[in-house]
């Protein structure tokens, strides 16, 4: 029979843990369909501000980690138990922190993270994330496993995990364009050229193209958000990158960042300054990339808030947008082809207002990371009264990797104490329910069905562990 060990950091200040979204609020945060699992204030990280973020899932045990940029380094947080996250430690900045540009960006490849900053001479830090498995006395101060110095400062970094190349962006080389680095051997990064023809790239997504244009399928395609336009570049040959097309749009003030839909048919762009200088509400520009040589603007989406859009990512048929003072906005893309987009979810990490501004020191959500298999979502706030938020869609089943070959799905009922378990490959004979300390609270025996509903009305609201057939471990939220 499997046993489980739970790790707690008693000094960690976690506020507003596991609060359902009821009557438009989760704790004190406006919400729609998304519940707060936990919030860690910036003071826990000994930092003055937060910024970008990414995630890593350990392939060895399925544990999930948030990598969070701070004004003075990068924090690593184990969110495997989203109600009781564990701050494992920080990798400090390389070099002297500055008043300007002390935010950073990071991405992950082959169990390593690659971190850049606009701090002068910062370079690209490389950190082996498997070290997080060994932390027994958090928080620790970590050191980098390698440092790439082919550039000094960079605003951003993007990685194509298929090819093993990193692209530093908005830096002090190649006119601020993409600086290519071969990271196939993660701790031995090697310069591989760059692209300066289209000038400064603020952010980019690089993919091995599988989209609808047959001329470029299988090629490595770079799509850069370059302030006044979006650029499409074939970077398959690192020694000779070729601009395919450029595309601007009405009232372009600062093409900030963008992300493909999963079929690579459309590219969604955020413009960071149009709310300020044009006066429109939150806006996304959706570009049709059916023909990469001739991209066109397909539509624009206007939100219901004057807040400024920042970073957007796509998972399945949803766009997850960090919108500064309006927090996280979730937008349905399932009918984007017919120019229909609708906001279907909200978690506002800055409830005070939805003011239109985008200056240094502004509050609100800088980034949203929606790609964890558990469906937990990380939101990082810029200001000190935000920090790190872990939220989740209350309508989704809790699906987690099991400790055996069986895959268990758990469907909590949002309006009752009933929870349904479903096991695809064999009957469910036993279900045991434990509290977060490992104490057994309930047991159901000799059931013999593949789908079983149990009643948790005897338990208080909170997070519990369930063990199915003595082996498969899943989490259960009692609403």
Structural domain ending residue among the three candidates 378, 393, 408: 393
370 and 426 belong to one structural domain: no
Supply the pLDDT for residue 426: 80
Question: Where does the pLDDT of residue 402 fall: very low under 50, low under 70, confident under 90, or very high at 90 and above?
Answer: very low
**Domain assignment present for 19:** no
- Looking up tokens 């469906």 gives 375
Cα gap 320→369, rounded to integer Å: 8
321 and 191 belong to one structural domain: yes
Cα gap 38→21, rounded to integer Å: 13
- Looking up tokens 């378990």 gives 421
**Domain assignment present for 415:** yes
404 and 387 belong to one structural domain: no
Structural domain ending residue among the three candidates 331, 364, 393: 393
Cα gap 14→19, rounded to integer Å: 12
DSSP state of 19: B
415 and 389 belong to one structural domain: no
Beta strand extents in 188-324 (DSSP E only): 190-195, 203-208, 220-225, 230-234, 242-247, 255-260, 266-271, 283-288, 296-302, 311-315, 318-322
426 and 287 belong to one structural domain: no
Q: How many domains does the chain have?
A: 2
Structural domain ending residue among the three candidates 393, 412, 433: 393
**Domain assignment present for 14:** no
Please enumerate in sequence order all residues whose Cβ is within 8 A of that of 193, keeping only pairs 6 or more positions apart, or say none.
180, 238, 239, 241
180 and 72 belong to one structural domain: yes
366 and 405 belong to one structural domain: no
Q: What is the pLDDT of residues 104-129, one digit of tens each?
A: 999 999 999 999 999 989 999 999 99
The sign of the torsion formed by the CA atoms of 323, 178, 172, 73 equals positive
In this prediction, residues 274-289 reach a mean pLDDT of 94
H-helix or E-strand spanning residue 102: none
Rg, C-alpha atoms of the chain: 23
**Domain assignment present for 7:** no
**Domain assignment present for 164:** yes
CA 214 → CA 265, 266, 267, distances in Å?
Answer: 12, 15, 17
Cα gap 335→388, rounded to integer Å: 32
243 and 357 belong to one structural domain: yes
**Domain assignment present for 256:** yes
- By CB atoms closer than 10 A (0-12, 13-18, 19+), residue 446 is exposed
Residue range(s) defining the domain that contains residue 422: 400-478
CA 188 → CA 41, 74, 84, 148, 471, distances in Å?
Answer: 35, 21, 36, 8, 40
CB 180, CB 238: distance < 8 Å:
yes
**Domain assignment present for 13:** no
**Domain assignment present for 15:** no
48 and 174 belong to one structural domain: yes
In this prediction, residues 406-428 reach a mean pLDDT of 70
135 and 61 belong to one structural domain: yes
Q: What is the pLDDT of residues 60-99, one digit of tens each?
A: 988 999 999 999 999 999 998 887 899 999 999 998 776 5
Whether residue 139 is preceded by a cis peptide bond, meaning omega within 30 degrees of 0, is yes
CB 115, CB 107: distance < 8 Å:
no
Cα gap 259→312, rounded to integer Å: 7
What integer best gives the mean pLDDT of the chain? 87
H-helix or E-strand spanning residue 265: none
298 and 184 belong to one structural domain: yes
260 and 408 belong to one structural domain: no
Relative to beta strand 140-141, strand 86-92 is parallel
- The CATH number assigned to the domain holding 330 equals 2.130.10.10
Q: What is the pLDDT of residues 140-177, one digit of tens each?
A: 999 999 999 999 999 999 999 999 999 999 999 999 99
- The CATH number assigned to the domain holding 468 equals 2.60.40.3080
| pLDDT surpasses 80 at 7 | no
Please enumerate in sequence order all residues whose Cβ is within 8 A of that of 359, keeping only pairs 6 or more positions apart, or say none.
none
Question: Where does the pLDDT of residue 409 fall: very low under 50, low under 70, confident under 90, or very high at 90 and above?
Answer: low
């Amino acid at each position: 029979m499997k046993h489980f060990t739970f790790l707690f950091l008693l000094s960690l200040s976690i506020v507003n843990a596991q609060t359902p979204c009821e009557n438009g609020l989760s704790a004190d945060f406006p919400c729609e369909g998304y519940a707060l699992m936990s919030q860690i204030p910036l003071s826990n990280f000994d930092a003055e501000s937060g910024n970008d973020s990414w995630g890593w899932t350990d392939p060895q045990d399925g544990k999930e980690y948030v990598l969070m940029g701070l004004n003075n380094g990068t924090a690593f947080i184990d969110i495997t138990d989203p109600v009781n996250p564990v701050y494992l430690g920080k990798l400090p900045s390389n070099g002297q922190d500055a008043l300007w540009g002390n935010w950073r960006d990071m991405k992950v490849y082959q169990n390593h993270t690659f971190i850049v900053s606009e701090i002068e001479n910062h370079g690209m830090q490389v950190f082996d994330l498997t070290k997080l498995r060994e932390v027994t006395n958090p928080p620790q101060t970590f050191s980098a496993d390698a440092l790439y110095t082919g550039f000094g400062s960079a605003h951003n970094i993007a990685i194509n995990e298929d090819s093993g190349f990193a692209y530093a962006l908005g830096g002090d080389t190649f006119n601020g364009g993409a600086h290519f680095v071969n990271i196939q051997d993660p701790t031995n990064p090697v310069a591989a050229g760059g692209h300066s023809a289209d000038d400064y790239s603020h952010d980019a997504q690089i993919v091995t193209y599988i989209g609808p244009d047959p001329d470029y399928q299988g090629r490595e395609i770079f799509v850069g958000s370059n302030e006044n336009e979006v650029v499409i570049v074939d970077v398959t040959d690192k020694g000779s990158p070729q601009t395919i097309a450029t595309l601007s749009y009405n009232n372009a003030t600062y093409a900030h960042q963008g992300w493909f839909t999963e079929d690579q048919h459309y590219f969604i762009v955020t413009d960071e300054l149009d709310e300020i200088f044009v006066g429109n509400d939150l806006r996304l520009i959706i570009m049709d990339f059916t023909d990469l040589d001739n991209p066109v603007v397909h539509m624009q989406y206007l939100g219901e808030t004057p807040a400024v859009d920042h970073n957007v990512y796509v998972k399945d048929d949803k766009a997850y947008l960090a919108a500064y003072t309006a927090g996280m906005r979730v937008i349905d893309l399932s009918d984007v082809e017919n120019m229909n987009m609708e906001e279907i979810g909200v978690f506002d990490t800055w409830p005070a207002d939805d003011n239109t501004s985008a200056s240094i020191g502004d509050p609100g959500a800088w980034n949203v990371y929606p790609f964890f298999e558990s469906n937990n979502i990380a939101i990082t706030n810029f200001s000190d009264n935000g920090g790190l938020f872990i939220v989740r869609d209350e309508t989704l089943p809790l699906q987690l990797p099991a400790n055996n070959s069986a895959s268990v799905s758990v469907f909590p009922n949002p309006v009752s104490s009933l929870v349904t378990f479903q096991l695809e490959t064999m009957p469910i004979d036993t279900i045991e329910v434990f509290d977060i300390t490992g104490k057994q609270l309930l047991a159901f025996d000799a059931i013999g069905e593949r789908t079983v509903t149990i009643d948790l009305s005897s338990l208080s609201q909170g997070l519990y562990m369930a063990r199915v057939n003595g082996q498969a471990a899943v989490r259960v939220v009692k609403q």
